[in-house]
Amino acid sequence: MLRILLLAGAATAAVVAAQPAAAQSRYAEPPPLMVSPDLTAPWVMQLKRSPNGRRVAAPAIRRNVSMSQPQLRQLRRVERQTADPTIRTAAVRVPQPQEQKYRIDPKYLPQEVDYSGPHGPGTIVIDTTDNFLYLVQNGGTARRYGVGTGKPGFEWAGTHKVTQKKEWPDWRPPAEMIVRERAKGRILPVHMAGGPENPLGARALYLGSTLYRIHGTNQPWTIGGAVSSGCIRMRNEDVIDLYERVKVGTKVVVM
């Protein structure tokens, strides 16, 4: 009987002694970090390899029937990247520091102001010095919006009419812009479909026969600065508001 008890005790001790080694082996490499693929917030899925060299599968992404076409395209890009064993990280665009700290100066928010200029009601007047757009109204007032205007070397002035209006416009960068940006190491697409990531934003008002537009932006933190290649950019919510208030044929004065 004593011999049986001694053997049982030795077996128990061996099991207990083996547990730390097993635990250390099990967690020799941390498990992969998997963050919920919520397209309404920044996220990154980390892809790791298991000790045997096999890639750890990324979590399945469930499509929501309420997703927009740009969101579905973004999901498909992520799925294609995670299917490639040579890619270890698949990510959506990570906000830049200026985007994370984005807070617009209150003076660039839409507001009603006095207007005593020479232009009649219904005219759009753009002040590229102070970066304001005025929609002249009756009664000596105007609706004022903050805008982003042409950076040094891209300033311009003139009078045109709105010749076209588009919702969620496509973007086709001019050839000279593609060449200019390539020299800086930035490759622009020949065509980009309309959507939240499109630099033209939610709406566009085309000015005469020029390449200039009043349009939204995917970089709202730039409003109030001289930042564009000549176009007049607005926050998406502001350009939508302006879009609903003006018609094709509206006079636009850029000063």
- What amino acid positions are annotated as catalytic residues? 215, 231
Q: Which two tokens stand for residue 31?
A: 């498990």
Environment class of 252 (CB within 10 Å of its CB; exposed 0-12, middle 13-18, buried 19+): buried
Identity of the amino acid at 173: P
Assign 3-class secondary structure to 183-244. HCCCCCCCCECCCCCCCCCCEEEEECCCCCEEECCCCHHHCCCEEECCCEECCHHHHHHHHH
Q: At a CB cut-off of 8 Å and minimum separation 6, what does 232 contact?
A: 126, 133, 147, 148, 149, 212, 213, 214, 215, 254
* Helix or strand (DSSP H, E) at 81: helix 69-82
Q: At a CB cut-off of 8 Å and minimum separation 6, what does 47 contact?
A: 32, 55, 56, 58, 82, 87, 88, 89, 90
Inter-residue contact 29 to 71 (CB < 8 Å): no
What whole-number distance in Å separates Cα of residue 106 and Cα of residue 110? 9
**Distance of alpha carbon 188 from the chain centroid:** 15
Provide the CB-side half-sphere exposure for 209 (13 A, CA): 0
